[in-house]
Homo-oligomer: A and B are copies of this chain.
């Protein structure tokens, strides 16, 4: 259920992206708010971070975390092109999907890598499955903003 809701939101994100021209994606989602391009980079970088959290290996591109998670849109950091960002988003999703499918059911209830063994003993809900629940909500949150770029 958790996984199917994750894929549902990723699919919705892809539908929204398919509806937007590069020009539309480069616009602000609302006056003074992030552009679609920044949100795409942000979502891709946050998904890329899931590899580490889930113990599935290294992030594909840690530089993206610097640009789109630890820095706001207004930072002077050089950003990739829209084509490169879309490719990155698709690559992260494809590999994440492949690797997550190999996680055994019981393994989802083990601790994720950002919580210590001591803390996990006290808070057993801080497991790998919870990362996916949390990231699905995060994706939905920004999806609600990205749809504002789609013409009514």
Residues on A lying within 8 angstroms of B by beta carbon are: 1-2, 4-5, 9, 29-33, 125, 127, 129-130, 133-134, 136-138, 140-145, 148, 152
Give the chain B neighbours of A33 by CB distance below 8 A.
30, 148
Residue A1 contacts which of B125, B138, B148 (CB distance < 8 angstroms)? B125
Give the chain B neighbours of A143 by CB distance below 8 A.
141, 144
Number of copies of this chain in the oligomer?
Answer: 2
Q: Nearest chain-B residue to A124 (Cβ)?
A: B1
Give the chain B neighbours of A134 by CB distance below 8 A.
5
- The answer to whether B4 and A148 touch across the interface, beta carbons within 8 angstroms, is no
Q: Nearest chain-B residue to A149 (Cβ)?
A: B30
Smallest beta-carbon distance A19→chain B, Å: 16
